[in-house]
Structure 1
Amino acid sequence: MDGIFFYWFTWIGWAYCSFLMKASRRRTMYSIMLLMMMILQGFTLRAGNLLLHFSFVFLLMCGFVFAFRLDFKRMLSFVFCSCLVALAYNAMLLFSMYDPVWMVVEVKWLLSGVLFLLSLFLMRETSLRPFMLGAGMAVGETVYHFIIKKLTLALELGSLAFFDVLTLSVALCFVWEGLHQFSAYIYAEAGKGRVLKRASR
């Protein structure tokens, strides 16, 4: 069922930001963004054969606003990486449409995994990865629908399937970061144990 991952992970993220993060402007901003994303998903605008979800527009706005708040060098890196994400997202969707036989795994899972791995290679800063994925995927989704507009009778920007892929990719990023921090903690504790053993001798 489309949308289950979007609502599930977004609610988890909102609860974490609202109740577990330290009080700060960043916590407030993240909480508002996640809550607005869920609320706006239910509002749509129809123009001809195009159905536009307000949550999709909000996602694009958040991505661009966040990019322009960075310094010039980081902004260029962010925009370049977002374009690569958009290209990869668009290419995989077109490939799955023209040659679906090769898709041995469901497109949703394949897209999420590939975009997650791409974000690891492209962006070092953990805090930038969700915004880069959001902006890149939104641009890729727009370009994809522009390409196929002559092949279909109905276009939908910001569908639940799109947000499922986005939230799965972002969730994988957070799981990876959690595993990375946990392994660093274990390594540090093991190092302390070796130091204590040497001191006791």
Structure 2
Amino acid sequence: MMAGSIFLFCTWFLWIFTTFFMDKRNQKRTEYSIYLLLAIVLCGLNWEWQHVRFSILPLVVLVISFFYTSRLHWKKSMYCIVSSFFVMLAYITYELMAIIDPIWVFIPGVWLKASILFILVILLHRNIVCQILILSIGSMMGDIVLSFVLRSYQMNYSIGSMHFFDSFMLGMLGMISLFYLKMTLARWEQYVFMLEKERKNNV
């Protein structure tokens, strides 16, 4: 599978969902659509500094994520930053282990990395907004730090490659899917409760 195909497919899918299927009363709907289109446009833009190749998109995602994190209550904001640090360490550890001993990567690396980050993030926080912020900051910072670690060993590593965004978007899509699954189950449970209550009242 071509690098970046998962990212582009998931991003387009989310853009279609937010644009045409999300509740129109949601004030964030247009904002989400703009961010997703921005991600599609910026994912192919790169620049090089001191022989290190950067993608523009991770830097933009970091700025936006830190902006929204700063708007949270200070306790929640600090918790997100600390959680992001643990996600960053997990990301770097996974990548280094995959380089040192690749035999333990028993399933495609993109899916395995996405699964590890997804499980870690949902264990660290229950709120979907904080989960997205933690995943964004942690994985982006992890990719940047990993690049400089590998550079010290004369190994070239591109920051924000399409392989990176494939796993990042899979983790993001997993969290969003889990959030809507919980919402659907909660509404269904409420609907069943109302039916049961109505049935008892009619008896």
Q: Same fold (TM over 0.5)?
A: yes
Distance 1:169 1:90 in 2: 16
Alignment of 1:19-58 (within 5 A): 19-21=20-22, 22=24, 25-58=27-60
Matched, 1:87 2:89: yes
| Comparing 179-188 and 89-98, the one that deviates more | 179-188
The letter for the 1-side match of 2:129 is S
What's the RMSD between the two structures over aligned residues?
1.7
1:26-85: CA deviation from partner (whole Å, max 9, x where unpaired): 223222221111111121112243111111211111111111122211110111111111
Distance 2:91 2:72 in 1: 24
The letter for the 1-side match of 2:78 is L
- Would you say the 8 A contact 1:49–1:155 is kept in 2? no
| Comparing 87-96 and 26-35, the one that deviates more | 26-35
Distance 2:56 2:33 in 1: 18
Distance 1:140 1:195 in 2: 51
Distance 2:19 2:62 in 1: 23
Matched, 1:137 2:143: no
Where does the alignment leave 5 or more consecutive residues of structure 1 unmatched? none
What stretches of structure 1 move > 6 A for 4+ residues in a row? none
CA deviation after TM superposition for structure 1 residue 145, in Å: 1.2
| Comparing 161-170 and 176-185, the one that deviates more | 176-185
Select 2:177's aligned residue among 167, 175, 178: 175
2:157 aligns with 155
1:18 aligns with 19
1:105 aligns with 107
Distance 1:191 1:17 in 2: 30
The letter for the 1-side match of 2:158 is E
CA deviation after TM superposition for structure 1 residue 155, in Å: 2.3
Identity of paired residues, percent?
A: 26
| Comparing 16-25 and 120-129, the one that deviates more | 16-25
Distance 1:33 1:91 in 2: 29
CA deviation after TM superposition for structure 1 residue 104, in Å: 1.0
Distance 2:185 2:21 in 1: 22
Distance 1:154 1:101 in 2: 21
Change in Cα spacing, 1:171 to 1:69, as seen in structure 2 (3 Å) is: same
Distance 2:194 2:25 in 1: 32
